[in-house]
Homo-oligomer: A and B are copies of this chain.
Amino acid sequence: MTSTAGRARQAARNDESILAAAREVFLEDSRAPIAAVAERAGVGISALYRRYAGKEDLLRTLCHDGLRLFIAEAESAQRHPDDWTAFETFIRGVVDADVHSLTVHLAGTFTPTEEMRADAVRANELALVLFERVQPMLRRGAVFADITMLLEMSAAVRVPDPERTRQLRVRYVDVLLDGLRTGAELPGPAPTVQELSWRWSQ
């Protein structure tokens, strides 16, 4: 039975390789041309425009997928009974999936859908719950917005080899989490939530 073979199969494969290529390319350079995505995916430009209405549509899809992954990580980690394990699993999961660099660097390059906004709110709520479970173990003055910054700093760790990038991020997430637990009160005015979400408005 060749019901899903041939052309249809190739199309399904292209679906995936285009998305994977887009993730890679836009992770490297959020302003990369769309032709670079097609090239990395090993397809023509038409294959891309057959699936997405335009560049913005692709970017939005990519970003929304990242958001959903973020939510999935949070929901999964939430089930850990131990507060700190739940929190650490969540952070490491998000960092490892490289969700944050994609969402952050792509922010503002497209107009979000209503569903995306709702998911963003939900993602925030879930992360907040995880944060509040560990807040008593953190340095005095630590606030939820510090977690966003922690993720941002982790995303800044980047070397040419993706596998090495992941290894190094494990290393520095370790540093950041330890630094967030050990020490006196955190210095300076804490970041506010709107200070860190300005990307989305613009």
Contacts and interface: CB of A to CB of B under 8 A. Distances in A.
Contact of A172 (B149, B164, B168): B149
Interface residues of A, number: 34
A58 interface: no
Interface stretch (A81-89, A125-133, A191-199): A191-199
A187 interface: yes
Interface of A is mostly: helix
A167 B188 contact: yes
Contacts of A180: 175, 179
A56 interface: no
A153 interface: yes
A152 interface: yes
Contacts of A164: 189, 195
B172 A183 contact: no
Interface string A103-128: 00000000000000000000000000
Interface in A130-186: 149, 152-157, 159-160, 164, 167-168, 170-172, 174-180, 182-183, 186
A190 interface: yes
A168 to B, nearest CB: 6
A147 to B, nearest CB: 12
A60 B143 CA distance: 40
B196 A170 contact: no
A179 B186 CA distance: 13
A117 B189 CA distance: 39
Q: Which 6 A-B pairs have the closest CB atoms?
A: A179-B179, A156-B156, A175-B179, A153-B153, A178-B183, A182-B182
Interface of A: 31, 149, 152-157, 159-160, 164, 167-168, 170-172, 174-180, 182-183, 186-191, 195-196, 198
